[in-house]
Structure 1
Amino acid sequence: MHDLLRDSPSSSPRGSPYGPGDWAELEEVARAGNFDVLRSVTYNRVWITGQSYCRNRASIDSCERHLQSLWYVYYQCARHVSHESFEQDRWVLDIIRTRGRGPLTRPAPGGGIDIARTPEGTVWNDLPFLATDMTEYWINSCAEMDSKQRINAASFLAKLASTRIANDRLCQIALDLFRDTFESERPLGSSNEADDENEDRHRTIHGLTIASLLPSACAWIREAGHNIILLSDASWNDCSHSTIGTGGFTFVQSELGQRAPGGFSPWRWLYWLKRLHQIAEEASKADEKLLAEQAANAIDIMLSDVKERNSQILRVFEGAGDAVTQDKDFMGLKRKW
Structure 2
Amino acid sequence: MSCSPENEKLNWTMWSETFRNSIDDEAQFTDDHEDNFCRIIPIISQHIHLVTREYAARSYPLSDIEVHLHDIWYACIQAGRHIWGSTAEPNTLVVALASLKVTGPLLRPSQRLPDSGDAKESVTFSDNREFWSDLPLFAGSLVDEFTHRFHQPDYGAGYCFNLATFVGRLLSVGIFDGPAICVLSLFRETLEVSHPLSETDEDAEQIEASAAKRIPTFEDRLYTLGETIRLARTSLVILVSNRATTDKIDYTDFPQLSSLGELALKAGIDPSSTLGYSRERWNFWIQRLEELQKSEIENIQIQARGCLGEMREPAEDTALLL
TM-score bracket for the superposition, by shorter chain length = 0.7 to 0.9
**Contact 1:134/1:170 (<8 A) preserved:** yes
2:122 to 102, 105, 115: 115
1:76 to 75, 78, 87: 78
Question: C-alpha separation between the residues in 1 aligned to 2:211 and 2:313?
Answer: 35
**Contact 1:189/1:212 (<8 A) preserved:** no
Question: C-alpha separation between the residues in 1 aligned to 2:29 and 2:48?
Answer: 23
Q: Which residue of 2 aligns with 1:163?
A: 173
Q: Does 1:195 align with 2:197?
A: no
- Output aligned runs, 1:213-224, within 5 Å: 213-224=221-232
Q: TM-score of the superposition, structure 2-length normalised? A: 0.80
Q: Which of 1 and 2 has higher RCO (CA within 8 Å, sep 6+)?
A: 2
Name the count of aligned residue pairs.
291
Q: Which residue of 2 aligns with 1:172?
A: 181
Q: Which residue of 2 aligns with 1:94?
A: 96
Q: Which residue of 2 aligns with 1:136?
A: 144
Q: Which amino acid aligns with 2:70?
A: Q
Q: Which amino acid aligns with 2:93?
A: W
User: How far does the alpha carbon of each residue in 1:178-199 deviate from its partner, in whole angstroms, 9 at most, with x for none?
Assistant: 1111111221134985538448
Q: What's the CA shift for 1:56? A: 5.0
User: How far does the alpha carbon of each residue in 1:131-179 deviate from its partner, in whole angstroms, 9 at most, with x for none?
Assistant: 22112113333232322221111111110112122x5431100111111
Q: Give identity over the alignment, percent.
A: 21
Q: What's the CA shift for 1:233? A: 1.7
Alignment gaps of 5+ in structure 1: 1-13, 315-337
User: How far does the alpha carbon of each residue in 1:219-238 deviate from its partner, in whole angstroms, 9 at most, with x for none?
Assistant: 22111132222221229784
Q: What's the CA shift for 1:15? A: 5.4
Q: Which residue of 1 aligns with 2:33?
A: none
Q: Which residue of 1 aligns with 2:156?
A: 146
Q: Which amino acid aligns with 1:292?
A: Q
Question: C-alpha separation between the residues in 1 aligned to 2:160 and 2:169?
Answer: 14
Question: C-alpha separation between the residues in 1 aligned to 2:181 and 2:67?
Answer: 23
User: How far does the alpha carbon of each residue in 1:272-292 deviate from its partner, in whole angstroms, 9 at most, with x for none?
Assistant: 11111222222xx1xx32222
Question: C-alpha separation between the residues in 1 aligned to 2:68 and 2:252?
Answer: 21
Q: What's the CA shift for 1:101? A: 2.8
1:183 to 167, 187, 192: 192
- Output aligned runs, 1:218-237, within 5 Å: 218-234=226-242
User: How far does the alpha carbon of each residue in 1:280-323 deviate from its partner, in whole angstroms, 9 at most, with x for none?
Assistant: 222xx1xx3222211101111212121111133x4xxxxxxxxx
Q: TM-score of the superposition, structure 1-length normalised? A: 0.77
Range that drifts further, 258-267 or 74-83: 258-267
SS in 1 for 2:91: helix
**Contact 1:79/1:149 (<8 A) preserved:** yes
- Output aligned runs, 1:184-333, within 5 Å: 184-190=193-199, 195=206, 197-198=209-210, 209-234=217-242, 238-239=250-251, 241-243=253-255, 244-257=257-270, 260-282=273-295, 285=296, 288-312=297-321, 314=322
Q: Which residue of 2 aligns with 1:43?
A: 45
- After superposition, the CA RMSD in angstroms is 2.9
Q: Which residue of 1 aligns with 2:55?
A: 53
SS in 2 for 1:255: coil
* Residues 163, 114 of structure 1: alpha-carbon distance in 2 compared, 3 angstrom cutoff: same
